Amino acid sequence: MVEGKIGNNHEPSNMNVNGNSNTVRKSHPTQPNISINLGVSGDQRTKGYSGFEESIPMSGRSSDILSGDIFGVSPIRVPKSGNLNGMHIRKNGLRDNWDDEDGYYKYHLGEVLGGRYRITAGYGKGVFSTVVQAKDLKAGKNDPEEVAIKIICNDDTKERYKSGKREASVLEKLSNADREDRRHCVRFISSFMYRDHPCLVLESLHMNLREVIKKFGRDIGLKLTAVRTYSKQLFNALKHLKCCSILHCDIKPDNILVNGSKSLLKLCDFGSALSAGRNDITPVLVSRFYRAPEIILGLPYDHALDMWSVGCCLFELYTGKILFPGGTNNGMLWLHMELKGPFPKKMLRKGAFTSQHFDHELNFHVTDENLMMKKAVNKLLMNFKSKGVGSKISSFPGEDLKLLSRFKDLLEKIFVLDPEKRLTVSQALGHPFITGE
């Protein structure tokens, strides 16, 4: 694959998923792949030990966020309001029957939203919204004719409604700070109200990275040169977030979109985004497999949490495997230590939730039922030694071994348990894997 100019411009690269020589698809190894048993398959859509798939509303965050992406199928059920002869009842009385019982708007193909956008296809449901593809009937000369519209749910609690309004504010801030559209965050076009639903008009992109992995890298991942291209663009997106003092808080392959040629990547779904600074301590922020250890332990968090999530995505892109497929937060910590060794005691002493996973002497306490079933668990608890991410990555025929070594080094620096010592975005952009120097 020949890399084009990326990062701070949108000139297309020669990344081609269908060609023979320039492809994101790996060749299968001629010898057994030593990473074949690592984690779970990337196309199993964030399912853990028990095959869960769950999400939460913005406030409270009483369970894990695992399917909050705008193209995912919503796995949750919002408490139902009453019904009368098929009509939805709210506290303020009878409402028009254009919403389903969970507050999702029931659109129709060909329907025109806001007097301007004709629905041409449906993308699916997320936790907070329904997303459709639409044609802009009033598109100007320089306006995109095809757009994506995120129709925010309108439920009785109004929490998803408020989340949608917050997301619109975040998207507008990011877009206003990127007038030339060079920072790899999905483009916000406009917003409007339609039948009590906030609607966000966004640029329309082809597919998400979960789908890319499933289609072109199932079980073995993508070529390293493709991963390198995507890495640089993701780091540029993180740089833009940091400049705007925004934490994404839910980076995962589902929330990263690519264009039709697979050469351009953009971060999307800012429904869980927060302003950087002092935020509520919660152990369920970020989708579990991509959740940084400081979140689980209850430490203050900053931009380092998004860097950890990006590292998980990069590993998954190259291997086709989820690095930390923990079924619970307790299981996640186990996997973190299994790979990177024990946590610094100084870090554990500061955690608001440390006592949920460690005893008073800071010994790890297993509560995950799947871990309890492992016969050797007690022995392993006493022998946590850092294996390093490199132990989970093998080379493939024709792979540049020097580039692979640099990729492993990049991941080792990202997966540092202490967020204060984790690789920063400026350091990532200057890493030899990205610069080639």
Taking only the tens place, the pLDDT of each residue in 308-329 is: 999 999 999 999 999 999 999 9
Q: What is the pLDDT of residues 37-49, one digit of tens each?
A: 323 333 333 333 3
Nearest to 213 by CA among 62, 346, 348, 321: 321
The separation between CA 280 and the C-alpha centre of its own chain, rounded to angstroms, equals 20
Which one is the CATH code of 40-63+206-435: 3.20.20.80, 3.40.1160.10, 3.40.50.11270, 1.10.510.10?
1.10.510.10
- Options 250, 269, 306, 368, the catalytic residue: 250
Looking at residue 257, what is its pLDDT? 96
Looking at residue 72, what is its pLDDT? 37
**Series of mean pLDDT values for 10-residue runs along the chain (437 residues):** 35 43 56 33 35 32 38 37 45 62 93 98 88 96 94 81 87 96 96 93 94 88 96 99 98 96 95 93 97 98 99 97 96 94 96 95 87 59 74 88 97 98 99 95
Q: In what order do the strands lie in the sheet with 117-125?
A: 112-113, 117-125, 129-136, 146-152, 197-203, 188-194
DSSP 28: P
Tokens 């871990």 sit on residue: 371
Burial class (CB in 10 A: 0-12, 13-18, 19+), 49: middle
Are 12 and 237 within 8 A, CB to CB?
Answer: no
Cβ count near 45 (within 10 Å): 19
Looking at residue 270, what is its pLDDT? 95
Structure tokens at 123: 């993308």
Distance of alpha carbon 386 from alpha carbon 113, whole angstroms:
54
Burial class (CB in 10 A: 0-12, 13-18, 19+), 370: middle
In DSSP notation, 104-157 reads -B---TTPEETTTEEEEEEEEE-SSEEEEEEEETT--TTS-SEEEEEEE---TT
Question: Residue 338: CB partners within 8 Å, gap ≥ 6?
Answer: 380, 384, 387
Are 29 and 396 within 8 A, CB to CB?
Answer: yes
Tokens 């890319």 sit on residue: 212
Which one is the CATH code of 83-203: 2.60.40.420, 1.10.510.10, 1.10.8.870, 3.90.1150.10?
1.10.510.10
Decide whether 40-63+206-435 matches 83-203 in CATH topology.
yes
Distance of alpha carbon 251 from alpha carbon 286, whole angstroms:
7
How do the domains of the chain map onto residue ranges?
Answer: 40-63+206-435, 83-203
Nearest to 129 by CA among 70, 170, 45: 70
Looking at residue 104, what is its pLDDT? 92
Looking at residue 34, what is its pLDDT? 30
Residue-wise burial string across 113-133, b where 16 or more C-beta atoms lie within 10 A, e elsewhere = bbebbebeeebebbbbbbbbb
> What global pTM score does this model have?
0.80
The DSSP bridge partners found for residue 93 are: 90
Annotated active-site residue 306? The verdict is: no
Distance of alpha carbon 148 from alpha carbon 135, whole angstroms:
9
60: left (phi over 0), alpha (psi -120 to 50) or beta: left
Which amino acid is located at 360 in the chain?
Answer: H
